[in-house]
Structure 1
Amino acid sequence: MNVSEQVVARLAGVEKRYGRLVALENTGLQLRRGELLALLGPNGAGKTTAISLLLGLLRADAGTVELFGRDPQDVRARQRIGVMLQHAELPGTLRVGELLRLTASYYPAPRSVAESARMAGVDDLLTRPYAKLSGGQQRRVQFALALCGRPELLFLDEPTVGMDIETRQRLWAAIRQLLAEGCSVLLTTHYLEEAEALADRVCVMARGRVIHEGTVEALRARVATRRIRCLSAVDAGVVCSWPAVTAAERRQGRLHVTTEAAEAVVRRLLDADPQLSELEVQRAGLAEAFTELTRESEQGLPETRREVA
């Protein structure tokens, strides 16, 4: 399989404007077969517009938009995708099993109702009217509908909003199963720990532009912040006064230090307390890296530039 066959979704040089408002400007991204790409960005970054273009709901003003090498509005491409949008309007009087059977009928080789229900964790809801479900249960049904057509590419827009921790982790397990089967996933989420747990790559957008694309580790590596945790008798107030230390506090008996010079701070801690133990040094999480990257982007772009979605 050549490189072009591995790319299942692509934006290249895409522009989208609404009058004078810029939604996307020279935007490009690629999603490859069998990977999960997390599309991240603050509100108004252009994520929704990018997804709408790939789904064929909008047309670009310039550039290339492709699904499986085809126009996103081509039915042959659309039959190969599944979609779970952030907001969904479904017939409330239909039972969950009826919704699954109806949706599956649109696809050439769908999963069985039982398999879709099991993967989404809605086995016990099949006879319940959709309108009678809680918000979290409705999200699980929407996930079942998205995967029932056996998609090669799955669009998940804020899929775990309204779910409790246990249900969210079950959905993560289902997503990992789909990836193992070769399905590609384009995920948008405000839960950065979700992107950190699932993504092969992340694409960060701000003001209608892609400002970073790469692995989670590559994004985290852009930020120098490190966290130090240890058992030590050194006073947190004293450590806070040291050069390159941005924060120091004691929590549950342990000293927690945030710094951009971890090696120097660790050496000084060991000098000050030879009995120091249980030392851990961690890089910044995805949340800190994301915040730093988007802040840099906001500072680097003119204030007159505006976007809408």
Structure 2
Amino acid sequence: MTTPALRATGLTKVFRGEGGETVTAVDGIDLTIGSGEIVAFLGPNGAGKTTTVDMFLGLTSPTSGTIEVYGESPHRAVVDGRVSAVMQTGGLLPDFTVRETIRAIAALHGRPERVDVVIERTGLGPLAGRLVKACSGGEQQRLKFALALVPDPDLVILDEPTTGMDVGARQQFWDTMRADAADGRTIVFATHYLAEADAFADRTVLMARGRIRADGPTAEVRAAYGSQTMTLRPPAHAVGVHGIDDAWLADVRRALAPLGITDLEVSSASLEAAFLALTGEEATR
């Protein structure tokens, strides 16, 4: 049987607050992620996403429960180069060029042959000679992604990976992600862009208050918890109807035709609606 990329069982993390009270950031989650999946981690602030990701990377230890990355401890998997991360925090050396930065990290990993590979893979060729401090926020984010690919990891964990990127760079980034996943690389990303998760994640894990509230194919999460809407536009007014299926839709069209209603629009269930239903929080757009 193939070893999963990541397996968490009963994963719990408890912190002690300033007043001595205990705060449960992650509350006994079970999660298995297979190789080649693209998985979106969603949740409002305080949901436990960041703490969970930190445990995936071995940056913090669970209070209880277990976590394995390709059958090893997270720390061992990181040391072996099987896992890389692109985090929101963590700076770059501003007076290095893009190429010099990648070359330095490649030397640390003993992988000098990866320099040109990752530059091409991430579309950084035109920026290779530019100083890091002269790069935009989105360009620096692409550089961080390139650095994560240097050891040729099996699993890449990304925290808000496209922050600061323009629309074209974001599309190029996700094209690269899809190609990597097709080659067997596993992608786990936390994002506040619900539309991005909807468009690019095969699977969505939605967290709230330290627990997993939904976990499944993104389309199924969207359909199960979001409402589908049909808007009818008769000559004088519009009517909203919820819970539409294809078979009933054809009957509705025929029934309404004598009333002069010809403009009919059906909107699919949205991931945002599922987010709101499951967390009771305001979705971040």
Counterparts of 2:210 and 2:80 in 1: how far apart (Å)?
Answer: 25
* Residue in structure 2 matched with residue 16 of structure 1 by the alignment: 13
**Alignment equivalent of 1:164, drawn from 157, 163, 166:** 166
4+ residue runs over 6 A deviation: none
**Which one-letter code corresponds to 1:36 in the other structure?**
I
Deviations 1:36-71 (A, max 9, x none): 111111111001001101111101111001111111
Q: Match for residue 259 of structure 1?
A: 242
One of 192, 200, 204 as aligned partner of 2:194: 192
Give the corresponding residue for 1:100. Answer: 102
Query: Partner letter of residue 242 of structure 2?
Result: T
Q: Which moved more, 1:73-82 or 1:218-227?
A: 73-82
Q: Tell me how large the CA RMSD over aligned residues is.
A: 2.4
The corresponding residue for 2:228 is 226
Name the CA distance, whole Å, in 1 between partners of 2:213 and 2:120.
38
| Pair 1:290 & 2:285 matched | no
Rounded Cα–Cα distance in structure 2 between residues aligned with 1:141 and 1:25: 34
Return the offset for 1:230: 5.6
Distance 1:266 1:114, change over 3 A: farther
SS of the aligned residue for 1:106 comes to helix
Query: Retained in 2: the 8 A contact 1:270–1:276?
Result: no
In structure 2, the residue matched to 1:45 is 47
Q: 1:23 to 1:129 in 2, by over 3 A?
A: same
Deviates more, 1:200-209 or 1:113-122: 113-122
Q: Which runs of 5+ in 1 are unaligned?
A: 240-256, 297-309
Structure 1: how far apart are the matches of 2:257 and 2:132?
63
What amino acid sits opposite 1:14 in the alignment? L
Distance 1:111 1:40 in 2: 36
Q: How does 1:101-140 map to 2 (within 5 A)?
A: 101-107=103-109, 112-140=114-142
AA partner of residue 129 (structure 1): L
Q: Is the 8 A contact 1:82 1:151 kept in 2?
A: yes
In the TM superposition, 1:143-158 aligns within 5 A as: 143-158=145-160
Normalising by structure 1, report the TM-score: 0.81
Structure 1, residues 160-181: CA drift from partner, whole Å, max 9, x if none?
1111111111101010111111
Cα shift readout 1:67-112 (whole Å, capped 9, x = no counterpart): 1111111167541122101222111111110111111223355763
Deviation of the 1:218 alpha carbon: 1.5
Instruction: Report the TM-score, using the length of structure 2 for normalisation.
Output: 0.87
Deviation at 1:260, TM superposition (A): 3.9
Which one-letter code corresponds to 1:45 in the other structure? A
Contact 2:8-2:68 at 8 Å conserved across structures: yes
Deviation at 1:281, TM superposition (A): 2.3
Q: Unpaired runs of 5+ in structure 2?
A: 17-21
- Provide Cα deviations, 1:204-235, integer angstroms capped at 9, x if missing partner: 11111111110112111223622224664241
Q: CA shift at 1:187, angstroms? A: 0.8
Cα distance in 2 between the residues matched to 1:76 and 1:87: 18
SS in 1 for 2:197: helix
Count the aligned residue pairs: 274
Q: Secondary structure at the residue paired with 1:73?
A: helix
Q: Which residue of structure 1 lines up, in the alignment, with residue 256 of structure 2?
A: 271
Deviations 1:135-179 (A, max 9, x none): 111111111111122111011110011111111111010101111
Q: Please name the residue that 2:19 is paired with.
A: none
Q: Which amino acid aligns with 1:13?
A: G
Q: Is contact 1:84-1:155 (8 Å) kept? A: yes
| Rounded Cα–Cα distance in structure 2 between residues aligned with 1:224 and 1:90 | 40
Aligned-residue identity in percent: 35
